Structure 1
Amino acid sequence: MRQRLLVRWLGARPRLRRQESGTPRSCSSSRNVDSVQERVLAEILGRNVDTEYLRNCGLDGGTADRATFRAKVPVASYDALHPYIQRIANGDRSPILSTHPVSEFLTSSGTSGGEPKLMPTVEDELHRRQLLYSLLMPVMNLYFPGLDSGKGLYFLFVKPETKTPGGLTARPVLTSYYKSELFKNRPSCDTYHNYTSPTAAILCADAFQSMYAQMVCGLCQRHDVLRLGAVFASGLLRAIRFLQLNWEQLAADIETGVLSPRVVTDASVREAVAAILRPDADLAQFVRDECCKGDWAGIVTRIWPNTKCLDVIVTGAMAQYVPALRHYSGGLPMACTMYASSECYFGLNLRPRCDPSEVAYTIMPNMGYFEFLPVPVDEATGGVVDAGNLVDLARVEAGREYELVITTYSGLNRYRVGDVLRVTGFHNAAP
């Protein structure tokens, strides 16, 4: 499966939409996009100008400004960066792409030479990405008031990870996030990450046991659930199918208040669920009554009656699942909240209650340095891109389409992400 969180996983072409009534008042970063972008690039160059890659481009500490960066640093594909990345993966700890040590690799979509693409990341990048997560609940609350007073039933899973020859971990970006101390030790005041699922269930490597534990905990706390979701629309449908296939065993365990040892063997999961699961004959009978009917229309709101919305990716390839989700949810709104990837987190949907066909993202200018290559690209040059054609974030035009090019704190410089974006307007000055 492609490991991109949002757009490129799905082949979507996100649209960046104008602020409308009810959109949250922006911070100064959305009003002063160009100055924020200049500061971000100065910070990136200030820490990475002494790397091998940028020195090879002709930069040094005395020429590390925006104009020189644009004049000397070429637009790069993954293949161009692969030799540098491979050296890091093999154990070279010199400052090749970043002066900060590479903490791990995030596996990205696509392959190079038949192997998953490896995106280097550094320790403080996780904290930067957490800032974007911290904006999600305030935005959601504007459209779904009171959402922070309950819990979310999210079906979240970790994926397998590997080690590079040099000993660095390589894993999907969400697996990295779920296994981080930042996630595992998140404060109780973090209302967006207030889940019905115990962390041990999310971190369980066995997908069946993880799903079973998350489902039983969600059933036990059904009146607390105000939002229900998964990363993808298809993942939420898998959870509903899981309930269809396993409701009898789930009801039996709820009735006894103990997980069947034939179903869940992971000791950490059993211990975590034991803090939530109690004998409840009434709830067990309710589950049986609702699931034995054969009619699954509106099952989400029948079992979790206080649910205000679904929180899933429904753009691109996931759009095909929208009718099924509407059927099972009784027509609940579907919030598609964030545009992000293993290379960088980009922006938020500031209108999460919009129709799935109208999902749009506002780029946050403090997450990285963003440039845009007008589409179509002149293929007569054999794919060689003239860096002089790139447009700054503050200078994109409504109605135009651009390929996204990013420079990150982790050491990607003028990297072609591959996503094509259509600009439809601005939130203040942020497209």
Structure 2
Amino acid sequence: MGLKASLSKPLAAFVVSRINRWKNNAVAAQEKTLKKLVAQAKNTAFGRDHDFASIRNHADFRVRVPVRDYEQLRPYVDRVVAGERDVMWPGKPLYFAKTSGTTSGVKYIPISKESMPEHIRAARNALLTYINETGKAGFVNGKMIFLQGSPEMTEKNGISVGRLSGIVAHHVPGYLQKNRLPSYQTNCIDDWEEKVDAIVRETLKEDMTLISGIPPWVQMYFDKLTAASGGKQIKDIFPNFGLFVYGGVNFEPYRAKIEASIGRRVDAIETYPASEGFIAYQDSQFEKGLLLLADAGMYYEFIPAANFYDENPLRLSLADVELDVNYALILNTSAGLWGYSIGDTVKFVSKSPYRIVVTGRIKHFISAFGEHVIGEEVEQALLAVAAEEQVGITEFTVAPQVNPPAGELPYHEWFVEFANAPADLEAFSKKVDLALQKKNIYYFDLIEGKILRPLVMRSLSKDAFVSYMKQEGKLGGQNKVPRLSNDRKIADALVNWVL
């Protein structure tokens, strides 16, 4: 075992002992975090406007600070972007993470000198908890690749602007820099396909031990590696590859194809980073869910997803959450986001410690007929039948067909790119529909009541989703295809690739 691997084990044990202090007292850690955040920001413009000086607890906070999305917070954010100090958080941000919003256009998410270290600490701790639990530390001696956005920055009123993954690249610890690929020059290539080709050339002969990225883009990297090596599986190209770190989407729809590309199962760590903050990571290979980071400069609130659009929805603290309930996640951060609806839904699978699974997006659902079908339900229905039928799924999305040809009942239309297609698509579709009915009683009632017909599944040509994302200018990086839409924008575009 190399020196780095040997040194990582006592470091991992030390870090995990510190994590356990707040992990076992998460509610107290959250209460302390709220008080600290409010105290630090009470003299900002936002703090004065919302009477932070009189806030003593979460009940006070709820009364004074409403839940807002980016567009609703924009009057404050625009002042920060314009270069004004002390607006939402003391001073000016270190960075703006630039993201693309579906309704807000370009979004500028502030990252402060207090919040930036939390992103790095969480990424490091995800690896250290893995080392501590499994004893596997050999990967730190090999080469690691992070498929990410360009590290090049622009500037806006004296503040550096970039993609979150590109910003984080500037903060990779020095002891990992020599192990890290791709090169800075390759990372700066804008065209995603050109960039992946360059990454393949740089890594093909290297001893890759850790690979990290969003699963569909990692799959593209694997496909190109296999082609460049004359058809070899990843296990034969990188025999010491043993750890896959991912985030951004549910891995399960991609697992079968990625593992087939590798040629064997490898350990995986799921992470939940966002531009707004690093929220959770998988702290165990044996327990379900991601450890919610209760001591990372963020105070979380939870609104039952079913009530999110009520006039005055219930806002819960960590102390009040229940297991197996879908919650809209609300953030209050050390970068000055307050009552911020990030748009994700989560469900607690454990309260000792507090572990979550990400179940979807609050706006990514289908409820054209009152069924309120969510991402978790469609994913579980499809994957259960695919596993039973030994069918491989590359990618999929679902949309309502509200205006079918005259005389037909409306339906949910599924667009699926198969790695290996079912022998009988119609029979496969019926099984998926029945599985979905079992998961969503409202959908069952609509089918039984002849308000909807069973789902219609369209099989798409190879690389359909890659082609669609390329057409939209969203190929690679942190871009993801929504699993569910309540409109036909994506569905109508994908019709061009229906077989």
Please, what TM-score do these two structures have when normalized by structure 1? Answer: 0.70
**Cα separation, 1, equivalents of 2:71 and 2:323:** 31
Match of 1:398 among 307, 310, 323: 323
Aligned pairs for 1:234-249 within 5 A: 234-245=216-227, 247=228
> How much does 1:415 deviate?
1.0
The residue number in structure 1 matching 2:119 is 129
**Cα separation, 2, equivalents of 1:64 and 1:314:** 35
SS of equivalent residue, structure 2 residue 306: coil
**Cα separation, 1, equivalents of 2:248 and 2:336:** 31
Aligned pairs for 1:5-24 within 5 A: none
- TM-aligned CA distance change 1:196 to 1:308, over 3 Å: same
**Do residues 120 (structure 1) and 110 (structure 2) align?**
yes
**Do residues 158 (structure 1) and 149 (structure 2) align?**
yes
The residue number in structure 2 matching 1:108 is 99
> How much does 1:314 deviate?
8.0
- Counterpart code for 1:339: Y
> How much does 1:94 deviate?
3.0
SS of equivalent residue, structure 2 residue 301: strand
Match of 2:341 among 404, 416, 420: 416
Aligned pairs for 1:145-184 within 5 A: 145-159=136-150, 166-178=157-169, 180=170, 182-183=171-172
> How much does 1:203 deviate?
4.3
**Cα separation, 1, equivalents of 2:151 and 2:125:** 29
> How much does 1:153 deviate?
3.7
**Cα separation, 1, equivalents of 2:65 and 2:337:** 11
- Counterpart code for 1:419: D
Are the counterparts in 2 of residues 108 and 116 from structure 1 also a CA contact under 8 Å?
Answer: yes
Are the counterparts in 2 of residues 404 and 417 from structure 1 also a CA contact under 8 Å?
Answer: yes
- Counterpart code for 1:331: R
The residue number in structure 2 matching 1:306 is 240
**Cα separation, 2, equivalents of 1:314 and 1:54:** 32
- TM-aligned CA distance change 1:144 to 1:309, over 3 Å: farther
- TM-aligned CA distance change 1:155 to 1:340, over 3 Å: closer
- TM-aligned CA distance change 1:159 to 1:40, over 3 Å: same
**Do residues 187 (structure 1) and 174 (structure 2) align?**
yes
**Cα separation, 2, equivalents of 1:334 and 1:400:** 28
1:327-376 CA distances to partner (integer Å, 9 max, x unpaired)? 1111323514211201111111123477xxx6x21101012101111121
Which structure's relative contact order is higher, taking Cα pairs within 8 Å and 6+ residues apart?
1
The residue number in structure 1 matching 2:281 is 348
**Do residues 31 (structure 1) and 13 (structure 2) align?**
no
Q: Percent identity?
A: 17
**Cα separation, 1, equivalents of 2:305 and 2:33:** 25
- Counterpart code for 1:46: A
- TM-aligned CA distance change 1:311 to 1:345, over 3 Å: closer
**Cα separation, 2, equivalents of 1:90 and 1:43:** 27
Cα RMSD of the aligned pairs, angstroms, is 2.9
Match of 2:75 among 83, 92, 97: 83
Please, what TM-score do these two structures have when normalized by structure 2? Answer: 0.61
**Cα separation, 1, equivalents of 2:347 and 2:205:** 43
- Counterpart code for 2:241: T
The residue number in structure 2 matching 1:372 is 302
- Counterpart code for 1:220: K
**Cα separation, 2, equivalents of 1:195 and 1:160:** 14
> How much does 1:107 deviate?
2.3
SS of equivalent residue, structure 1 residue 27: helix
1:384-414 CA distances to partner (integer Å, 9 max, x unpaired)? 344xx21111321112221111100110111
**Cα separation, 1, equivalents of 2:245 and 2:143:** 9
**Cα separation, 2, equivalents of 1:419 and 1:375:** 10
**Cα separation, 2, equivalents of 1:218 and 1:306:** 13
**Cα separation, 2, equivalents of 1:89 and 1:409:** 17
- TM-aligned CA distance change 1:328 to 1:376, over 3 Å: same
